[in-house]
A = this chain, B = another copy of it.
Amino acid sequence: MKTTITDVAKEAGVSMKTVSRVLNNEPNVAQATRDRVRDVARRLQYSPSLAARGLASSRSYLIALVYDTASPSYIFHIQAGAIEACRKYGYHVVLEPISLERGEADEAERILGRIGVDGVILTPPLSDSEQIRDTLRRLNIPHVLVAPEEPGHSPSVRMDDTDAARQMTEYLIGQGHTDIGFILGHPDHGATERRRKGFERALTAHGHPIRDDRIVPGDFSFRSGVEAAVRLLSDPRNRPTAIFASNDDMAAGVVSVAGRMNLAVPEELAVCGFDDTPLAQILWPKLTTVAQPIHDMGRKAAELLVDRHKSDPPMQHTLDFELVIRESTRLA
Contacts and interface: CB of A to CB of B under 8 A. Distances in A.
Interface string A247-266: 00100100010011000000
A92 interface: yes
Nearest to A255: B256
B47 A51 contact: no
B113 A45 contact: yes
A72 B83 contact: no
Contacts of A284: 222, 226, 256
Interface string A230-273: 00000000000000000001001000100110000000000000
A278 interface: yes
Given A55-B49, A110-B47, A282-B252, A95 B79 contact: yes
Contacts of A279: 278-279, 282
Q: How many copies does the complex hold?
A: 2
A89 interface: no
Name which of A73, A114, A256 has the most chain B CB atoms within 10 A of its CB: A114
Interface in A75-95: 75-77, 79-80, 83, 92-95
A14 B203 CA distance: 73
A126 interface: no
- Size class of the contact patch on chain A: 35 or more
A62 interface: yes
A48 B114 contact: yes
Contact of A260 (B76, B110, B252, B259): B259
Contacts of A29: none
A55 B51 contact: yes
A214 B49 CA distance: 58
A167 B94 CA distance: 38
Nearest to A257: B284
A217 B79 CA distance: 35
Contact of A51 (B60, B92, B259): B60
Interface of A: 45, 47-55, 60, 62, 72-73, 75-77, 79-80, 83, 92-97, 109-110, 113-116, 222, 226, 249, 252, 256, 259-260, 278-279, 282, 284
Given A73-B73, A93-B94, 17 more contacts: A45-B109, A47-B110, A48-B114, A49-B116, A50-B60, A50-B115, A50-B116, A52-B55, A54-B54, A72-B73, A80-B97, A92-B95, A92-B96, A93-B95, A222-B284, A249-B282, A259-B259
The list of the 5 closest CB pairs from A to B, nearest first, reads A51-B54, A72-B76, A47-B114, A72-B73, A51-B55
21 contacts: A45-B109, A45-B113, A47-B110, A49-B116, A50-B54, A50-B60, A50-B114, A50-B115, A51-B51, A51-B53, A51-B116, A52-B55, A62-B94, A72-B72, A72-B77, A94-B94, A252-B282, A259-B259, A278-B278, A278-B279, A279-B279
